[in-house]
Structure 1
Amino acid sequence: MSAPELVIFDLYGTLIRFGVQNHPYRKVMQWARQQGRPPHPEDARTIMTLPGEAADVFSRMGIDIPDHMLRQLISEIEQEIESLTLFDDVIPVLRRLDSYGISMAICSNLAQPYGIVVDKLLSDFHFIKCLSYEVGYVKPEREMYEWIARHSGVAPSQSMFVGDTVHADYEGPKEFGFRARHLVREGPQLKNEVIGDLADILSDFH
């Protein structure tokens, strides 16, 4: 089998790790429930597919946050973003792929404030960016994978998806037609196509 022409990375848990996790969106949703707003099955998807700052997104969901809670929300998001770092294997692997002339993409489910990390920590590399709040879909929705295939111009069979979430980053991509590797950084790698380090994907390019 020929080497992939495109490698698609999940972002959080794959390339980026949190030093601090405050779960600020979850706290607001818990508060809203206490105020009488019942949770909706689409809440998480809505948060990750609506563009805008947190207060704007919540307002469009019918949740008006008190000023003190909004200040806390913003502060906790900023604290999380400040704590973000790359996993140790990321830069060496990206440099190697870059030297091979391999195209790279990022495909991530996330709220808009967390998208800044791509420019903050990965500005040395060029990525096709498929971010849920920009494209209006979330993994494992088929439209998310179609967006990547369309904008990259690379056939799914010549693309490899790499991520740490089984359904969104491995099973969904495989069903669509991508090659895929499930990244398990901690714990046994008991199945084929499961890797414990990003460097393991480099064997596909020898």
Structure 2
Amino acid sequence: MISAVVFDAFGTIVRIGQRTSPYVALIREGRRQGVAINPGLTGLAMRTSLSFDELASRLGIVLSPSKREELNRALELELSSIEPYPEAVEAVSRLQNAGIKLGICSNLAAPYGSIVRRLFPEMDGYAFSFELGVMKPNPSIYHCVCNQMEVEPGHCFSADMCRVLMIGDSPRCDRDGPRSVGIMGFHLDRRGQGSIKNLQQFVKLVIAHNRKSTSVS
């Protein structure tokens, strides 16, 4: 039986309607100023709850009042454009009605977390990188969402035990990473080139599997 499903957030259940990429713009501004920003620091926004001012200070970037206003305006514009995929709302409803616990596990910056929670407020678990200080595919982030859902990963190849599934648009973070801790991860390829092309298809597979398991038992 499949007892729980974990969703990635962006590109899976929510999308950005108007992408302004404010954090990319901040990094670009730092490089324009000659600030050396190593790859480890570029993910800092997704591992902390720092504001733009605090993040810029940590990175050694000086923001003028006009640049600060520009970046915050870009952030607000992007946040206001976030919306759920229509099929995601239906998928969540169908799985909940089938008695399956649901969670969201995502790499994102703090301002985006509240939006995701508002759009999907009745999940059984949330594991966001900015709150935990680690990013997918770090094993601890998957364990965190499973702990909140009160399910145990580690049985992805067992037909006789309760299993946890995850789906998302990143093969590395949403398929391979989960599988390393025993969660059966699936890659959602909306371009239609993978085995899972949309959430409707995924939900049908999950529900059909549990019906078959119930009838066999």
Considering the TM-score relative to the shorter chain, is it more than 0.5? yes
Aligned to 2:42: 44
AA matched with 2:170: T
Contact 2:124 2:148 in 1 (8 A): no
Q: Which residue of 1 aligns with 2:198?
A: 197
Select the residue among 126, 135, 145 that pairs with 1:129.
126
Distance apart, 1:70 and its partner CA: 1.0
Aligned counterparts of 2:20 and 2:119: Cα–Cα separation in 1:
20
The match for 2:147 is 150
Alignment of 1:160-199 (within 5 A): 160-189=165-194, 194-199=195-200
1:32 aligns to what SS in structure 2? helix
In structure 2, distance between residues paired with 1:127 and 1:117: 17
**Unpaired stretches in structure 2, ≥5 consecutive residues:** 156-162, 209-217
SS of structure 1 residue aligned to 2:105:
strand
Equivalent runs, 1:1-206 vs 2, <5 Å: 2=1, 4-123=2-121, 125-156=122-153, 157=155, 158-189=163-194, 194-202=195-203, 203-206=205-208
- The separation in 1 between residues aligned to 2:7 and 2:15, in whole angstroms, is 14
Displacement of 1:149 after TM fit?
2.9
2-structure distance, mates of 1:61, 1:128: 32
Report how far residue 174 of structure 1 moved. Answer: 1.2
Residue-by-residue CA offset, 1:151-201 (whole Å, 9 max, x unaligned): 333121311011001101111111221011110111322xxxx31111122
Root-mean-square deviation (CA), in Å?
1.5
In 2, the alpha carbon distance for the partners of 1:148 and 1:120 equals 18
Stretch moving more, 31-40 or 162-171:
31-40
Q: How far is the alpha carbon of 1:148 from its aligned partner?
A: 2.2
Q: How far off its partner does 1:44 sit?
A: 2.6
SS in 2 for 1:195: coil
Q: 1:109 to 1:200 in 2, by over 3 A?
A: same
User: How many pairs align?
Assistant: 199
Alpha-carbon shift at residue 104 of structure 1 (Å): 0.8
* Other structure's SS at 1:17 match: strand
Which residues of structure 1 form unaligned runs of 5+?
Answer: none
Aligned 8 A contact 2:4 2:101 in 1: yes
CA distance in 1, matches of 2:54, 2:12: 28
- For 1:201 and 1:105, how far apart are their aligned partners in 2? 15
Give the secondary-structure state (helix, strand or coil) at the position aligned to 2:86: coil
User: In 2, distance between residues paired with 1:44 and 1:103?
Assistant: 33
Identity of aligned residues (%): 29
Cα displacement (A) at 1:86: 1.2
Shift of 1:134: 0.5
Q: Secondary structure at the match of 1:181?
A: strand
Q: Distance in 2 between matches of 1:17 and 1:200?
A: 19
Find the counterpart in structure 1 of residue 158 from structure 2: none
- Pairwise CA distance, 1:117: 1.4
Counterpart CA distance in 2 for 1:7 and 1:58 is: 36
Instruction: Point out the structure with max Rg over C-alpha.
Output: 2
Maintained 8 Å contact 2:126/2:148: no
Q: How far did residue 30 of structure 1 move?
A: 1.2
The answer (yes or no) to whether the contact 1:54–1:113 under 8 Å persists in 2 is no
- Name the TM-score, length of structure 1 as normaliser: 0.90
